[in-house]
Structure 1
Amino acid sequence: MYRGNIFGMTPSGSQPAAITPMGNGLQIAPDTGQFPFVLPFSGLEVSLGGYDGKQVVFSGDYMGSKLTVYVNDRSILKQLDTLGVPLDFRPKLDRVLKAGGRKLKRGLLWTIVILALLGGAGFGAWMGFGAFADWIVDQIPPGIESDIGKSGATSILSKQEVCSHPLLNQFVNEVGKRLVRASGDKRYTFRFKVTSTKQVNAFALPGGYVFVNLGLIEKAKTADEVAGVLAHEVEHALQRHGLRNLVRKAGLYIVIALFFDASHAVGLLATGAAELTSLAFSRSQETDADVKGL
């Protein structure tokens, strides 16, 4: 069994799921509790891509819907290789298996080429491709950014429990929405969640998904301290810091996706959105959130 994310089952975002190779296709069991179904090998496409260029991407039709499945563990290819897949799927699998062996050399070549182009254009040091990353972020509409954040939020909520205390949830939601109204920014529909996690932490995902851990609320001495944290996280979302960090971490892969396979660019960012809980903001981003959150 492998872990993955499915795109196409809902109007926006993704659903985490368990993926199991079977004799007739991929059995998919969504974490939402939906009954497992099989994405058949017939008509199924397979490639390498995703957030870091190392994921296995399956695309196929199921009951009239186009589904795309991202699997992080590339060993699924070896299992499929030994499983005895249908003849019409075998050439596709063989191409990906061979491509995996060539990917490192090809990635190095693209690195050299793109760095040379950037150097020739006067960008200087790469440094996460700075200004170019900001340009990419500026091209992403708020609606798409919200879809990316929703994917990360769905993944997080599949692993963490939401706090059941009604007064805490009411307090966080009321304060959070008041802060958003005060900002005057109407690009996003903010959603605030209190998780039962005891770790002292709070974080914001792209598109206005803000999480506050119960551990932080318990450690706070006053309600104003919690409000200050919420103001800080709201500003991270409004300044699109999370999205910028995602684009910078994706690096060359997002460049290649935009130029050669733009349809995967959003999926590439969405699959990495949940990682924002472990990505540190830069000092300038933290200062920006502090100053504007006051």
Structure 2
Amino acid sequence: MLEHLNTHPVKPTRAVIIGAGGFVGGAIYKKLAANGANTLALTRKQLDLLSDGAVEKLANFLQPQDSVVMVSAIAPVKTVSMLMQNLRMAEAVCAALTTNPISHLVYISSDAVYADDANPVNESSYTAPSTLHGMMHAARELMLRGSTAAPVAMLRPTLIYGANDPHNGYGPNRFRRQAEKGEPVTIFGEGEERRDHILVDDVAALVELILAHRSRGALNAVTGVSTSFGDIAHMVAAQFGNRVPVKNVPRPGPRPHLLHRFFDITDSLKAFPNFRYTRLADGLEIAKRGS
């Protein structure tokens, strides 16, 4: 669970967003900038963490009062090569933080760090990733936590959706794009897997709260409501007046080993009692309007 070092919310002196050009990083930057925070957006153009001299370049950007949000990643991680690239990126950030101390660090991790048999999942659940993607985030968490004496917060989102997601992963983002093209919304098998999905705007809002409270610890960015992919597909089709069908297609392989995942959001409610997650139906409408 999170511990708030600021009893009352205070805007950070400066928030440095590493990975501000990406889907999640861009949403965080826009949220902070819209609310008047002093923000430095570092995209790959300003800082390529895999390039020579990245450590020195990042260190030169950093100031002692900075709150750093580390979002930059090559994801989802599907190969060992991608895993190693992500670890080298984190290594560069760790080296820069060791050189130039900061005030606060927030890392955007993933619920993939948790063991598959942790149901329902909460912030105290055992971390035992079963995928390369989860292993990458778990390793980065350890690396970053050990690189700075500043308070560190790990935000672990579940599946993120939103209008500008570039990955087109199975779920709301792909379903919406299929419907926009007039194509059938396709689901594997009966679409029976149940997952929690979070709107990218909610992830950005949580980061803003964590920065304002100078929080440390871990928090799952999850709504607490898990919905089947089949139901999500029908929700998307309904957004388009059911002009497109929902089509069941054979799975390309066996059913996923993690068929369902549910979350206990008690710690989230305690951390930010006034925060309300966007309902999936409302979030799908927001994503449709923004696409």
* TM-score tier (shorter): under 0.3
**CA radius of gyration, larger in:** 1
Structure ranking higher on relative contact order (CA contacts 8 Å, 6+ apart): 2
Task: Output the TM-score relative to the length of structure 2.
Answer: 0.26
Task: Output the TM-score relative to the length of structure 1.
Answer: 0.26
Higher helix share: 1
